[in-house]
């Protein structure tokens, strides 16, 4: 840290009230487009940042106006440090999805396995988000997909192999930095081996220190070596490491492991303290105090406004911040802990180029031809033919039947899930079908509502084979997509039509374990639109897939 920055920060902290200091350690979310409330948090509670979603800004113009107003408000304070304006633009999850280039997401990048391309794609994410005035992307997701049944990581991870995830996570950090934003590896020390979603309850991972060192910690170490700015904690219990405290509240995990053993000197930010993993087990202010005492620098409260029916979230935010202030006043939390965390936070903000708000918004900075080409290249290189037992692939472009295995009603969850999920305006199946039509493919379609009739044992419905079934999946916070039902549709189809069934998976390949009788399977590792288009191009034979990516007949 430059001495002049440290000296400036030290002088500031000496003249700040306790309320000003504590407020700076909070990153808050808020409901809808209530910008006046957000500005009041800056003025009255001295908050240090915001977790923003497309609930807060639906268009690029709204996003730039919002970040500009918040940045201006912050600079009116005696401590004029800029705000941390953070978003979940990680590829699989995103904001302003219709207006930005998300690419196919991390699992597809892991499948493509081109570190230069991963870096390029994350540079695109950073550039576009930076153009809107945001300065932090809460990524890369550095979890390893150790458990294929994990309900919340999936396509957000770079994959199952420790060394690959580590390499791509480091490349992503470098790309985000080149894109002009600060980065945040998550969810430390690893959420990939859980069978539960921490939005719902507190997961437990039964791994020893040696097992963690060999697997989950490696990607985080690689991001630290690459200069990651923040590391986000996971609300997960590791009983072999700390049997009493989840990682977010554990001194052993945050101080002894992350700080001392791994050498991380950046900012430790908690995952949302309003996820049920925390809320079901700890009072809000108590959890915040314990996280700060354990070594967290920033407390994030980013989900309670999605639970408005349970009470006034604005009052909960105020009570949590005031609760920390009172804990310091009562001697339950040392003020020196607050000062140490604040020194780190302000030093990052004052020396970071990312925290200079862009002077104007240039719409051409979003979804440029260059950015779209990079996303398309990522999606194309990710495609894999994982099964081709009967030589049914490549498929002739004409004369087949197409069906989507996902209930169209499920897509309402994708477009409306709290502003922090995939939020794709169109289902992957619809993008795939439309792309096939645009490329002149001739096929018949069986709509979802007729699938049950088609697959009934006594059905007399006749179709033109082969039957191409599209599956898709989305990691939804606190919700489930209909993956099990889709797999059942595929199993019924195989039972009836045998080797004439071909699955195009616009998702991860983890469903394959449940489909042992299926002969032909092509996977994109993503449900993003760019991947749906790439898969359609592959089927229509406008895109060649390398022999290395295809299983021989």
Query: Is it the case that residue 197 has pLDDT exceeding 60?
Result: no
> How many Å apart are CA 302 and CA 230, to the nearest integer?
17
pLDDT tens digits along 14-39: 999 999 999 999 999 998 999 999 99
Predicted local confidence at residue 552, as pLDDT = 43
Confidence band, pLDDT 50/70/90 cuts, at residue 543: low
pLDDT tens digits along 488-499: 999 999 999 999
Confidence band, pLDDT 50/70/90 cuts, at residue 199: low
- Residues 458-463, mean pLDDT to the nearest whole number: 87
pLDDT tens digits along 279-323: 888 889 999 999 999 999 999 998 665 554 455 889 989 999 999
Cβ contact 180:170 at 8 Å: no
- Residues 158-183, mean pLDDT to the nearest whole number: 97
Predicted local confidence at residue 547, as pLDDT = 43
Domains in the chain: ranges and CATH: 3-363 (3.20.20.300), 383-549 (3.40.50.1700)
* DSSP string for 358-374: -SS--GGGSS-HHHHHH
Confidence band, pLDDT 50/70/90 cuts, at residue 401: very high
DSSP 97: T
Active site residues: 199, 271
> How many Å apart are CA 336 and CA 338, to the nearest integer?
5
Query: Is it the case that residue 166 has pLDDT exceeding 90?
Result: yes
- Residues 240-262, mean pLDDT to the nearest whole number: 96
Query: Is it the case that residue 542 has pLDDT exceeding 90?
Result: no
pLDDT tens digits along 204-233: 888 888 989 999 999 999 999 999 999 999
pLDDT tens digits along 409-457: 999 888 877 777 788 889 999 999 999 999 999 999 999 999 999 999 8
- Residues 482-487, mean pLDDT to the nearest whole number: 95
Predicted local confidence at residue 144, as pLDDT = 94
Long-range contacts (CB closer than 8 Å, 24 or more residues apart) made by 351-357 = 351/1, 351/2, 351/5, 352/135, 352/182, 352/229, 353/180, 354/130, 354/135, 354/136, 354/180, 354/181, 354/182, 355/82, 355/135, 356/82, 357/67, 357/68, 357/71, 357/82, 357/133, 357/135
Cβ contact 445:403 at 8 Å: yes
> How many Å apart are CA 230 and CA 226, to the nearest integer?
12
- Residues 465-473, mean pLDDT to the nearest whole number: 96
The model's pTM: 0.94
pLDDT tens digits along 36-91: 999 999 999 999 999 999 899 999 999 999 999 999 999 999 999 999 999 999 99
Query: Is it the case that residue 546 has pLDDT exceeding 60?
Result: no
What dihedral do alpha carbons 491, 496, 498, 504 form, nearest 10°? -50
Predicted local confidence at residue 202, as pLDDT = 73
pLDDT tens digits along 269-284: 999 898 877 888 888 9
Predicted local confidence at residue 75, as pLDDT = 96
Predicted local confidence at residue 460, as pLDDT = 84
Predicted local confidence at residue 553, as pLDDT = 42
> Average pLDDT of the chain?
92
Predicted local confidence at residue 434, as pLDDT = 97
């Amino acid at each position: 840290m430059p001495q002049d920055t440290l000296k400036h920060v030290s002088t500031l902290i000496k003249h700040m009230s306790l309320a000003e200091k504590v407020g700076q350690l909070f990153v808050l979310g808020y409901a809808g487009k209530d910008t006046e409330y957000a500005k009041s948090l800056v003025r009255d509670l001295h908050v240090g940042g915001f977790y923003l979603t497309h609930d807060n800004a639906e268009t690029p113009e709204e996003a730039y106006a919002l970040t500009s107003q918040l940045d201006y408000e912050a600079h009116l304070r005696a401590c004029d440090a800029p705000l941390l304006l953070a978003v979940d633009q990680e590829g699989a999850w995103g904001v302003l999805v219709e207006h930005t280039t998300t690419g196919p997401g991390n699992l597809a990048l892991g499948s493509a396995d081109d570190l230069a391309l991963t870096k390029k794609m994350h540079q695109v994410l950073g550039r576009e988000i930076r153009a809107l005035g945001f300065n932090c992307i809460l990524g890369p997701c550095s979890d390893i997909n150790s458990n294929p049944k994990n309900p919340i990581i999936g396509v957000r991870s770079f994959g199952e192999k420790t060394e690959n995830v580590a390499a791509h996570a480091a490349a992503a950090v470098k790309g985000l930095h080149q894109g002009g934003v600060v980065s945040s590896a998550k969810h430390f020390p690893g959420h990939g081996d859980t069978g539960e979603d921490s939005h719902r309850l507190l997961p437990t991972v039964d791994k020893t220190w040696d097992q963690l060192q060999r697997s989950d910690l490696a990607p985080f170490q690689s991001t630290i070596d690459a200069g990651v700015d923040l590391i986000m904690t996971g609300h997960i219990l590791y009983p072999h490491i700390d049997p009493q405290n989840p990682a977010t509240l554990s001194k052993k995990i945050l101080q002894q492991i992350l700080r001392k053993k791994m050498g991380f000197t950046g900012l430790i930010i908690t995952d949302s303290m309003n996820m049920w993993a925390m809320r079901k087990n700890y009072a809000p202010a108590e959890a915040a105090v314990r996280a700060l005492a354990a070594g967290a620098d920033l407390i994030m409260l980013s989900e309670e406004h999605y639970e408005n029916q349970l009470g006034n979230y604005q009052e909960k935010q105020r009570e949590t911040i005031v609760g920390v202030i009172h804990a310091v006043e009562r001697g339950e939390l040392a003020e020196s802990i607050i000062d140490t965390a604040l020194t780190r936070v302000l030093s990052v903000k004052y020396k970071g180029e990312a925290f200079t708000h862009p002077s104007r918004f240039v719409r051409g900075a979003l979804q440029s031809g260059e950015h779209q080409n990079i996303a398309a290249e990522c999606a194309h290189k990710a495609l894999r033919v994982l099964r081709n037992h009967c030589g049914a692939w490549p498929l002739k472009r004409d004369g087949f039947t197409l069906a989507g295995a996902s209930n169209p009603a499920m897509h309402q969850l994708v477009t409306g899930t709290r502003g922090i999920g995939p939020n794709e305006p169109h289902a992957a199946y619809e993008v795939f079908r439309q792309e096939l039509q645009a490329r002149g493919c001739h096929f018949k379609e069986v709509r979802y509502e007729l699938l049950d009739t088609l697959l009934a044992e006594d059905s007399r419905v006749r179709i033109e084979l082969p039957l191409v079934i599209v599956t898709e999946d989305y990691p939804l916070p606190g919700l489930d997509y209909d993956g099990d039902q889709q797999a059942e549709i595929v199993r019924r189809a195989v039972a009836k039509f045998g080797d004439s069934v071909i699955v195009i998976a616009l998702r991860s390949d983890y469903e394959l374990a449940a489909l042992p009788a299926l002969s032909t399977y092509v996977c994109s590792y993503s449900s993003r639109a760019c991947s749906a288009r790439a898969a359609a191009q592959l089927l229509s034979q406008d895109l060649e897939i390398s022999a290395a990516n295809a299983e021989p007949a």
